Amino acid sequence: MNKKRILTGDRPTGPLHLGHYVGSLKQRVDLQHEYETFVLIADIQALTDNFEDPDKVNRNVLEVALDYLAVGIDPKVATMCVQSAIPEIAELTVLYLNLVTEGRLKQNPTLKNEIREKGFAKSLPVGFLTYPISQAADITAFQANLVPVGEDQLPMIEQTRDIVKKFNALYGKTLVEPEAFLSKFPRLPGTDGKEKMGKSLGNVINISDPADVVLKKVMQMYTDPTRKRATDPGHVKGNPVFTYLDAFNPYTRDVEELKRKYEEGKIGDVAVKEALAEVLNKFLDPLRARRETYAENPKSVMKILKQGTEYAREVAHETVSAVKTAMKIKYW
């Protein structure tokens, strides 16, 4: 490999949102010219908790691809690919199964939280339980050095590192041990004030949301529950509106001035929210325009995915070949 590699991706269960952007997408856009970049649309993993609604997964493959292109992923330098069309990933998943115990999987904090949130405690699909192994296969298929993630995904990367260490210890150094790459803002809170932002929770601002929808969502945002009047001193810490302003307003002096006024009771929630909506729509305007241009020709987007997937398969095939050779199960 001439360049180090980065892998990112998302499950096509709905549009990408601003939390994805600050959590991983911005790094990918910034680094795609420096690293060999793979952007994986993980439709097989999306089926682990959407197996009864395959249409949802199917229609969102194109939507997520459009979002990636909108934020600035350049298909001329980055490889966009679809998980289900790369059977080598499934093969690696099977080969890694014996390297992980059931107990280790169930102790994965990220997995435990998601099992609880999705109500799988009494009826856990095996595919969902083995999600971390599948994710390890994603990462190692492309021998990724870096994986941009939010804080909540760190246990998943650690699980991958454990698999890689055990494989290399048993069979000889074959796989690259990946590093997690956290952003300055590893997690945005939901618009409802909850720590976790999620598509299924309905507390997100999507990259594809039109300006009026962004304004409506911002005006409904949670702020400071202890503040009864605009003249009351407000709390900035833990206030999602200011977290978003910190993340998306490049003019830090303006943000600090808003914080000062808010803390002194010299500006109301409405005015602060209007300022945030303006900042977000200014940020999203060029993304929406780029997305609309690609959306006018969906066949060209699917061609990008097809060509990217073909190259990704070549890379993943090399990894599978090396893995099977190391495990002494490559016979010809």
Q: What is the pLDDT of residues 283-296, one digit of tens each?
A: 999 999 999 999 99
- Indicate which residue of 56, 112, 166, 196 is catalytic: 196
Phi, psi of 177 (to 5 degrees): -85, 115
Can you give the pLDDT at residue 303? Answer: 98
pTM score > 0.95 for this model? no
Among the ranges given (7-21, 30-44, 155-169, 201-215), the one the predictor scored with the smallest mean pLDDT = 7-21
Can you give the pLDDT at residue 72? Answer: 94
Claim to verify: residue 166 and residue 305 sit in the same structural domain: yes
Claim to verify: residue 84 and residue 124 sit in the same structural domain: yes
Q: Does residue 193 sit within a domain?
A: no
Claim to verify: residue 34 and residue 154 sit in the same structural domain: yes
Q: Does residue 266 sit within a domain?
A: yes
- Mean per-residue pLDDT over the chain, rounded: 91
Angle between helical axes of 131-141 and 109-117 (0-180°, round to 10): 130
Token pair for 274: 């209007």
Q: What is the pLDDT of residues 187-241, one digit of tens each?
A: 788 898 887 777 777 889 999 999 999 999 999 999 998 888 889 999 999 899 9
Can you give the pLDDT at residue 186? Answer: 60
Q: Does residue 83 sit within a domain?
A: yes
Q: Is the pLDDT of residue 1 over 70?
A: no
- Indicate which residue of 26, 199, 217, 273 is catalytic: 199
Q: Is the pLDDT of residue 184 over 70?
A: no
Q: Predicted confidence band at 149 (pLDDT cuts at 50, 70, 90)?
A: confident
Claim to verify: residue 35 and residue 127 sit in the same structural domain: yes
Catalytic annotation on 196? yes
Beta bridge partners of 39: 8, 80
Claim to verify: residue 95 and residue 18 sit in the same structural domain: yes
Q: What is the pLDDT of residues 105-142, one digit of tens each?
A: 888 888 888 888 777 877 888 888 888 999 999 999 99
Claim to verify: residue 38 and residue 60 sit in the same structural domain: yes
pLDDT, average across residues 257-271? 95
User: In angstroms, what CA-CA distances link 166 with 52, 98, 137, 273?
Assistant: 35, 10, 14, 50
> What CATH code is carried by the domain that includes residue 21?
3.40.50.620
Domain that holds residue 168: 5-188+297-326
Q: Does residue 313 sit within a domain?
A: yes
Claim to verify: residue 313 and residue 245 sit in the same structural domain: no
Token pair for 90: 């499934």
Can you give the pLDDT at residue 125? Answer: 81
Q: Which residues contact 87 (CB under 8 A, 6 or more apart)?
A: none
Token pair for 194: 């909850």
Can you give the pLDDT at residue 185? Answer: 62
Catalytic annotation on 118? yes
pLDDT, average across residues 303-325? 98
Q: Does residue 274 sit within a domain?
A: yes
pLDDT, average across residues 316-332? 97
What is the DSSP code (8-state) at residue 14? S
Please state the domain count of the chain: 2
Claim to verify: residue 277 and residue 309 sit in the same structural domain: no
Q: Which residue has the higher pLDDT, 107 or 264?
A: 264
User: In angstroms, what CA-CA distances link 25 with 6, 134, 231, 240?
Assistant: 11, 21, 38, 20
- Indicate which residue of 4, 118, 261, 324 is catalytic: 118
pLDDT, average across residues 154-168? 94
Claim to verify: residue 218 and residue 153 sit in the same structural domain: no
Claim to verify: residue 261 and residue 174 sit in the same structural domain: no
Q: Does residue 256 sit within a domain?
A: yes
Catalytic annotation on 330? no
In the chain, % of residues over pLDDT 90: 69
Claim to verify: residue 80 and residue 219 sit in the same structural domain: no
In the chain, % of residues over pLDDT 70: 98
Can you give the pLDDT at residue 117? Answer: 77
How much of the chain is helix, strand and coil, in % rounded to 5? 60, 10, 35
Claim to verify: residue 36 and residue 183 sit in the same structural domain: yes
